[in-house]
Amino acid sequence: MWLSDVARPEPRQPGTSPARNLARPERRVGCLGVAKETTEVEVDGRTVTVTNPSKVFFSARGETKLDLVNYYLAVGEGALRGVYERPTVLKRFPNGAEGDFFFQKRVPASRPEWLETVTVAFPSGRSAEELCPVDVAHLAWAANAGCLDLNPWAVRRADVDHPDELRIDLDPQPGVPFDAVRQVALEARQVLAERGGLVGWPKTSGSRGIHVNVRIQPRWDFLGVRRAALALAREVERRRPDLATSKWWKEERGDKVFIDYNQNARDRTVASVYSVRPNPEGRVSCPLEWDEVADVEPAQLTLATVPARYAERGDVGAGIDEVDHSLEGLLELAAEDEAKGLGDAPWPPNFAKQKGEPRRVQPSRARKPQP
């Protein structure tokens, strides 16, 4: 649903290459006589003004806000693929990766006329007009707003109630070595293949984990996709109980890799492909080929190194849109679990109590039954 009738150019599909040009910085004088340095970026036929381009955003090597914008121009087609026509939450770091941040679900009123938006509804019943990227200019605009990473919903603007992406978020608990994450990712790949021939596309999280995205047919609502994700998490846990857990409560996870099935609930977002994450090194949530997973070192994939990798190899995750898969195999697995008495698992605290959900109380605080 569009909330503006401003004329817009035809959106550009990922895969085309627009002309981009970075102009020289200028110093402009504001109303109080204070000089402000700005830079104008020409991309996709748009002019994006970058304010405070020399401000340091990443302390490890001293990269600036302008370096962040240039990064997104360098990997633009790949980064756009992850957010194209998706409602995208603004996660803003006005003082760089190590500063305070805030989430902004509603795009600001003072924005370029060409900026695309889409309206989405939240579990609370409220709604918001969120950013909806359709070209790389939108990414440059977001980077100038202090968005280090891009946080899209798993839906497209044509249908905001039926996800077209299953997200497997592997989150190691404190002290768990990264090799455990690698092994759990490879096990998840096996389960996907066995339960319907699904193909997952791995990427580093840019932090301590790995994400695996699966393009799916937009036939199921958020409840159905989350149900499939929970079934997958439990199956991986059964196969690798030494490494993996689907337990929602932290006190039950132990020293394992948590498979966060709740990332598939409505209004949950995950940093998308090529997102720069908020750490001093500017690590990137970088797409991988499966034969890289066993030895990948996330610390080597940063905004300083990924552009060269992208220029040399292209977007290794570009094939994700070639096939959309059915969830029927995973939903059959869910039905098998339910027939054995294994029902729903806890939801995040901001969701209303769900049908079939167990008591939403930390196990150590649950009232013990009277003898």
Indicate which CATH number applies to the domain containing 176.
3.30.70.3300
**Whole-structure pTM over 0.75, yes or no?**
yes
- Strand, coil or helix: 147: strand
Q: Is residue 140 part of a domain?
A: yes
Q: Is residue 191 part of a domain?
A: yes
**DSSP annotation string for 151-217:** EE-SSBTTBTTS-SEEEEEEEEPTT--HHHHHHHHHHHHHHHHHTT----EEEE-SSS-EEEEEEB-
89 and 104 share one domain: yes
Q: Is residue 72 part of a domain?
A: yes
216 and 330 share one domain: yes
- Strand, coil or helix: 136: helix
242 and 138 share one domain: no
Q: Is residue 318 part of a domain?
A: no
Q: Is residue 289 part of a domain?
A: no
For CA atoms 352, 357, 358, 364, the dihedral sign is: negative
Q: Which amino acid is at 263?
A: Q
Return the pLDDT at 363: 78
56 and 139 share one domain: yes
Return the pLDDT at 10: 44
Q: Domains in the chain: how many in total? A: 2
66 and 154 share one domain: yes
The parts of the chain modelled with pLDDT lower than 50 are 1-12, 17-19, 22-24, 29-33
62 and 170 share one domain: no
199 and 55 share one domain: no
For CA atoms 115, 69, 151, 192, the dihedral sign is: positive
Return the pLDDT at 4: 30
148 and 215 share one domain: no
89 and 112 share one domain: yes
- Domain enclosing residue 247, as ranges: 165-269+323-343
Q: Is residue 185 part of a domain?
A: yes
Please say whether the beta carbons of 139 and 145 come within 8 A: no
Q: Is residue 290 part of a domain?
A: no
The H helix count followed by the E strand count for the chain is: 8, 16
Which tokens belong to 140? 């440059």
113 and 175 share one domain: no
Rounded Cα distance between 105 and 120, Å, is 10
Return the pLDDT at 349: 84
Task: Give the CATH number of the domain where residue 148 resides.
Answer: 3.90.920.10
Geometric angle at alpha carbon 65, from 63 and 71, rounded to 5°: 75
Return the pLDDT at 368: 62
Q: Is residue 172 part of a domain?
A: yes
263 and 194 share one domain: yes
67 and 109 share one domain: yes
Return the pLDDT at 124: 81
* pLDDT tens track for 174-197: 999 999 999 999 999 999 999 999
Angle at which helix 222-239 crosses helix 178-194, to 10 degrees, equals: 110
Return the pLDDT at 243: 98
